[in-house]
Chains A and B, each alone.
Chain A
Amino acid sequence: MTSLTTGLKGRSELGVALLLGAAGVVVFLDANGLVTPYSKSDPVGPKTVPFIVAGMLVVCAVLLAINVLRGGKGEAEGGEDVDLTHPADWKTVLPLAGAFVLNILLVDWAGWVISGTVLFWGSVLALGSRHFVRDGLISVALSLLTFYGFYLGLGIALPAGLLEGIL
Chain B
Amino acid sequence: MDVWSSLMDGFATALTPMNFLYAVIGVILGTAVGVLPGLGPAMTVALLLPVTYALEPTSAFIMFAGIYYGGMYGGSTTSILLNTPGESSSVVTAIEGNKMAKAGRAAQALATAAIGSFVAGTIGTALLAVCAPIVVKFAVSLGAPSYFAIMVLALLAVTAVLGSSRLRGFASLGLGLAIGLVGMDSVTGQRRLTFGQPLLADGLDIVVVAVAIFAVGEALWVAAHLRRTPLHAIPVGQPWMGKSDWKRSWKPWLRGTAFGFPFGALPAGGAEIPTFLSYVTEKRLSKHPEEFGKGAIEGVAGPEAANNAAAAGTLTPMLALGLPTNATAAVMLAAFTSYGIQPGPQLFSSQGPLVWALIASLFIGNFLLLIINLPLAPLWAKLLQLPRPYLYAGILFFATLGAYSVNLQAFDLVLLLVLGALGFMMRRFGLPVLPLVLGVILGPRIEGQLRKTLQLSAGDPAGLLGEPIAVGVYVIIALILAWPFAYKLFRRNRPATAPAGGAAGLATDTDDTVHSNHHAVYSDHKEQP
A and B found bound together: yes
List the interface of chain A (C-beta within 8 A of B): 13, 16, 19-20, 23-24, 26-27, 30-31, 34, 36, 39-46, 48-50, 53-54, 56-57, 60-61, 63-64, 67, 72-86, 88-90, 92-93, 96-97, 99-101, 103-105, 107-108, 112, 116, 119-120, 123-129, 138, 142, 146, 150, 153-156, 158-159
Contact A80 B226 (CB under 8 A): no
Contact B397 A120 (CB under 8 A): yes
Any A CB within 8 A of the CB of B102: no
Contact A128 B413 (CB under 8 A): no
Any A CB within 8 A of the CB of B322: no
Contact A81 B177 (CB under 8 A): no
Any A CB within 8 A of the CB of B492: no
Q: Could you pull out 7 A-B pairs where Cβ atoms are within 8 angstroms?
A: A81-B222, A92-B223, A96-B220, A138-B390, A146-B401, A150-B405, A155-B54
The distance from the CB of B71 to the nearest CB of chain A, in whole angstroms, is 15
A130 to B40, CA, bound (A): 28
Residues of B within 8 A of A84 (CB): 225, 522
Given contacts A20-B175, A42-B455, A79-B84, contact A64 B167 (CB under 8 A): yes
Given contacts A107-B404, A119-B397, contact A60 B54 (CB under 8 A): no
Taking CB atoms and an 8 Å cut-off, the chain B residues in 408-430 that contact chain A are: 408, 410, 413-414, 417, 421, 424-425, 427-430
**Interface mask (B209-243 → A, CB under 8 Å = 1, otherwise 0):** 00000000011111111111011000000000000
A18 to B340, CA, bound (A): 38
The distance from the CB of B516 to the nearest CB of chain A, in whole angstroms, is 12
Cβ-neighbour of B174 out of A20, A126, A129, A159 (below 8 A): A20
Contact A42 B187 (CB under 8 A): yes
Contact B181 A53 (CB under 8 A): yes
Cβ-neighbour of A80 out of B38, B164, B173 (below 8 A): B38
The distance from the CB of A112 to the nearest CB of chain B, in whole angstroms, is 8
Specify the chain A residue showing the minimal Cβ separation from B171.
Answer: A60
Residues of A within 8 A of B397 (CB): 116, 119-120, 123, 142
Contact A79 B430 (CB under 8 A): no
**Interface mask (B192-215 → A, CB under 8 Å = 1, otherwise 0):** 110100000000000000000000
A11 to B526, CA, bound (A): 25
Residues of A within 8 A of B392 (CB): 81, 123, 127
Contact B224 A90 (CB under 8 A): yes
Any A CB within 8 A of the CB of B396: yes
Any A CB within 8 A of the CB of B334: no
Contact A83 B223 (CB under 8 A): no
Contact A82 B225 (CB under 8 A): yes
Of B174, B391, B450, which is in contact with the most chain A CB atoms at under 10 Å from its CB? B174
Any A CB within 8 A of the CB of B294: no
Residues of B within 8 A of A142 (CB): 394, 397
Specify the chain B residue showing the minimal Cβ separation from A106.
Answer: B410
Contact B393 A82 (CB under 8 A): no
Residues of A within 8 A of B168 (CB): 64, 74
The distance from the CB of B14 to the nearest CB of chain A, in whole angstroms, is 22
Any A CB within 8 A of the CB of B248: no
Residues of B within 8 A of A53 (CB): 174, 177-178, 181, 443
Given contacts A89-B223, A90-B224, A93-B220, contact A27 B454 (CB under 8 A): no
Contact A103 B400 (CB under 8 A): yes
The distance from the CB of A129 to the nearest CB of chain B, in whole angstroms, is 4
A41 to B443, CA, bound (A): 21
Residues of A within 8 A of B181 (CB): 27, 49-50, 53
